[in-house]
Structure 1
Amino acid sequence: MPYLIRPVIAEGSLSRTPQPTLPTGDGLLLRPWDLGDAPAVHLAFQDPVMHQWHARAADSEEEVRGWIAEWQRAWEQERSLQWAVADAADDRLLGRVALREVVLDEGVAEVAYWTTAAARGRGVAARATRALAHWALDEIGFQRLELLHAVTNEASCRVAGKTGFALEGTKRRAVLHPDGWHDMHLHARVRGD
C-alpha cells in the first residue's frame, strides 16, 4: 500500500556520508566518538550527579569502549546520532550530545546530553545543544526535536529554555531512574522556531 506523504528525510541521507564534526563557533566541537574517549567517559560516569539522572553506570573502560562502538554503529543505522563534545583548543572531552529515537520518515528525534563535572556551569550543554539543533533543523531538515528531562532536574530545564525548546507539558511517571519513577518535562523545537 503506497504512502500518501513522502519521508521528511530520506533513508540513507545521513549514513551515506561520514558523521560530520560540528563547531559551535564559541570554542567547542561536536565530533564523532573515538575509542580513545573511553577513559574520559568512564571517569565522567563515576560522578554521583550522573548516577542521579542516568540509568546506566560504567563499571570499566572496556564497557565504555563497547558503548562507543555502539554509538559509532548507530550513525550507520540512522537510529541514534551521537557526538562527543570537546574543547576546540585541546580536544578535552566535556560531554555528549545526541539525537536519539530518530524517525527519519517523520523528521523527529529526541535531544539528549550530559557534561563532565569539570564542564558544568560553563554553558557547555546549552552551546552544544544549540549547535546540534541548528544542524538538525536547518541543515538536515528535521521537523521536530524533543527534549525530555526529569522535572526535578532544574539544570536541564535551564538548558532547554536557553536553547529555544518550548515547554509543552509534563509526562507523568514517564521514566524510571535509580531512585524511582520521575515525571518528565517535555520541551520541543520545530523547524522555523
Structure 2
Amino acid sequence: MTDPGGVRPGPGVKLRVRTGGGPARLPHRGTCRVDPGRTAAATLAGRGRAGRAQRLREPEIAQWNPSPGGTDLPGALDWIRRRADWSDGDHASFAVCRPDDGLLLGSVSLHRIHAGDASIGYWTVPAARGQGVATRAVQEVTAWAFPQFGLHRIELCHAVANVASCRVAERAGYPAEGTLRQSYRYGDGRRYDEHLHARLVTDV
C-alpha cells in the first residue's frame, strides 16, 4: 500500500494483535512497540457503521487494497468479519495504532500462510503516510511471522504504478525479484503489472 505525505504519528507505533486463541505478544524493536490488543478489523468496528465503509472508500485504499466484498456497508462488514477470524490459520491481520491514544494508522496482514510460505500486505490512512509507519509495521510483523508460523519465505506484491508501496517493500527488507505481467485486478477494474518482492528467513 502507499506511504506518501502526512502528519507525524508520534515517537512510536503500536501494533495490536489478537489471535483466534487469545492475545499474542510480538517482539518490541526500535520505535515500533507491539502489544496484545485489537485487530484492525475490531478497531474499525468500534468506529460505527459509516466509518467502516468510509475507510475502505479512501481513494488510495480503494484502488490498491480493494475489498473483495466492495466498499458499501455489507462489504465493509464482511471485510471486518474475515479479517478478525484467524481460525483457519491461513491469515493474520494487525492494527497499526498510535501509541498515545490508540488511533488507527493502518493495517498489516499475512495471507496464504501454508507450508512455509506466506504473502504480506499493508495499508495506511492518509494522515499516517510518508513517515515510515508502513515500513516499521511490515518489519515488525515479518520478524514475528517467521518463527510464529515456521515460515521460510514471505512474498510482497504491489502494482508497478504504486511507487510508494515499492519504497516500503525495499525499506522493509524485501528485495525485488521480478515483474508479474497483468497479474492482479485492482480497484478500478484494470489488470496491472506487479513487482514481486520477497524475504527469506535466511536474509539478514
After TM superposition, is the score higher than 0.5? Answer: yes
Q: What is the deviation of 1:167?
A: 0.5
Count of matched residue positions in the alignment of Structure 1 and Structure 2: 176
Deviation per CA, 1:42-87: give whole Å up to 9, x if none.
3322321122213324223x643332222122x1110111111111
Match of 2:42 among 31, 35, 43: 35
Give 3-state SS (helix, strand or coil) of 2:157's partner. Answer: strand
- How many Å separate the matches in 2 of 1:43 and 1:147? 26
Greater RCO, CA 8 A, separation 6+: 2
Letter in 1 for 2:88: Q
Superposition RMSD in Å:
2.4
Match of 2:89 among 78, 89, 111: 78
Aligned residue for 1:180? 190
Letter in 2 for 1:20: A
Identity %: 34
Which shifted more, 51-60 or 84-93?
51-60
Match of 2:165 among 151, 156, 167: 156
TM-score, normalised to structure 2, is 0.76
- How many Å separate the matches in 2 of 1:98 and 1:79? 11
Letter in 1 for 2:131: R
How do 1:30-179 and structure 2 match up within 5 A?
31-33=37-39, 35-38=42-45, 39=47, 41-56=52-67, 57-60=70-73, 63-73=75-85, 75-103=86-114, 106-177=115-186, 178-179=188-189
Identify if the C-alpha distance between structure 1 residues 21 and 41 changes in structure 2 by more than 3 Å, giving closer, same or farther. farther
Give 3-state SS (helix, strand or coil) of 2:61's partner. Answer: helix
Q: Work out whether residues 170 and 186 of structure 1, in 8 Å CA contact, stay in contact via their aligned partners in 2.
A: yes
Structure 1: segments with no counterpart, 5+ residues: 1-14
Identify if the C-alpha distance between structure 1 residues 36 and 120 changes in structure 2 by more than 3 Å, giving closer, same or farther. closer
Q: What is the deviation of 1:25?
A: 4.3
Give 3-state SS (helix, strand or coil) of 1:77's partner. Answer: coil
Aligned residue for 1:26? 31
- How many Å separate the matches in 2 of 1:115 and 1:188? 21
TM-score, normalised to structure 1, is 0.80
Deviation per CA, 1:100-159: give whole Å up to 9, x if none.
1111xx211000000001111111110100001100124543110000000111111000
Larger Rg: 1
Structure 2: segments with no counterpart, 5+ residues: 1-18
Which shifted more, 121-130 or 50-59?
50-59
Q: What is the deviation of 1:16?
A: 7.6
Identify if the C-alpha distance between structure 1 residues 51 and 127 changes in structure 2 by more than 3 Å, giving closer, same or farther. same
